[in-house]
């Protein structure tokens, strides 16, 4: 059976508003300038630690930035589902694919939070749910994807990775997996054309579903 490994933020779930609100709550707490939705969108992709680094002044010390991150994390844990929702058609697509392929999701979000979000938004749909850990590297490092492959006795040649950013391309490439990139998430078609000029990106969930059907030979 083929395995489909999905990125979370910007690929299957629109989490942008909740992330922006959590970022600005933390910035406001320390009287730092807020960031608008567009800035936060472009800052997403390497995990929340890097997100906060990109959204805070470069003059902050590591200790000060860690304090901002702690406020962000505390707020986000309480408000991660205020506005977060699956992209239109994603849940239906996963339901159709369930049982026809092994469905996995991998995220740079904390592992416990990733499980909580997936079980809330996609109950029973994913066979494998993998988030990150404080003491292990995040994507694009190959650790998390390799962990999925090794622990579930999956052959790399049976895997396809689906994401929405250049970080996702790097993640798949670092594990030598084929990949698909969507442009309806946190990177636009034009942005991906500049970041990944040799790739054709996917503009809709319907188009993504058709590509995945071809991959699993249905």
Domain boundaries of the chain, sorted by first residue: 3-14+85-215, 16-79
CA 32 to CA 34: how far, in whole Å? 6
**Tell me, what's the pLDDT at 47?**
87
pTM of the model as a whole: 0.94
pLDDT at 218: 55
Predicted local distance difference test score (pLDDT) of residue 115: 97
pLDDT value at 122 more than 80: yes
Whole-number average pLDDT of the chain: 95
Question: Which of 137-141, 182-186, 195-199, 214-218 bottoms out in mean pLDDT, i.e. has the lowest?
Answer: 214-218
Domain 16-79 belongs in CATH node 1.10.150.240: yes
To the nearest whole percent, how much of the chain has pLDDT over 70? 100
- Determine the CATH number of domain 3-14+85-215: 3.40.50.1000
Identify the pLDDT of residue 45.
84
Do residues 86 and 13 lie in contact, with contact meaning Cβ atoms separated by under 8 Å? yes
* Contact residues for 34 (Cβ-Cβ < 8 A; gap 6+): 24, 27, 28
Give 15-54 pLDDT, tens digit per residue. 999 999 999 999 999 999 999 999 999 999 888 999 999 9
Mean pLDDT of 185-197: 93
Cis peptide before 21 (omega within 30 of 0): no
Say if CB 22 and CB 52 are below 8 A apart. Answer: no
């Amino acid at each position: 059976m083929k395995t489909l490994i999905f990125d979370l933020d910007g690929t299957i779930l629109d989490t942008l508003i909740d992330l922006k609100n959590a970022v600005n709550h933390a910035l406001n707490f320390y009287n730092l300038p807020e960031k608008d939705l567009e800035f936060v969108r472009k800052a997403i992709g390497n995990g929340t630690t890097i997100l906060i680094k990109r959204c805070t002044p470069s003059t902050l010390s590591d200790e000060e930035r860690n304090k901002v991150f702690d406020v962000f994390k505390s707020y986000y844990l309480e408000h991660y589902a205020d506005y977060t929702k699956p992209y239109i058609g994603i849940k239906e697509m996963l339901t159709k694919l369930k049982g026809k392929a092994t469905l996995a999701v991998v995220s740079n979000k904390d592992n416990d939070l990733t499980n909580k979000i997936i079980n809330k938004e996609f109950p029973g749909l994913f066979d494998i749910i993998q988030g990150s850990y404080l003491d292990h590297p995040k994507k694009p490092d190959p650790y998390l994807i390799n962990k999925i492959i090794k622990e579930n006795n999956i052959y790399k040649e049976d895997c396809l990775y689906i994401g929405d950013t250049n970080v996702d391309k790097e993640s798949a490439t670092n594990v030598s997996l084929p990949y698909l990139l969507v442009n309806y998430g946190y990177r636009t078609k034009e942005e991906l054309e500049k970041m990944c000029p040799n790739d054709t990106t996917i503009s809709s969930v319907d188009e993504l579903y058709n590509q995945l059907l071809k991959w699993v030979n249905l």
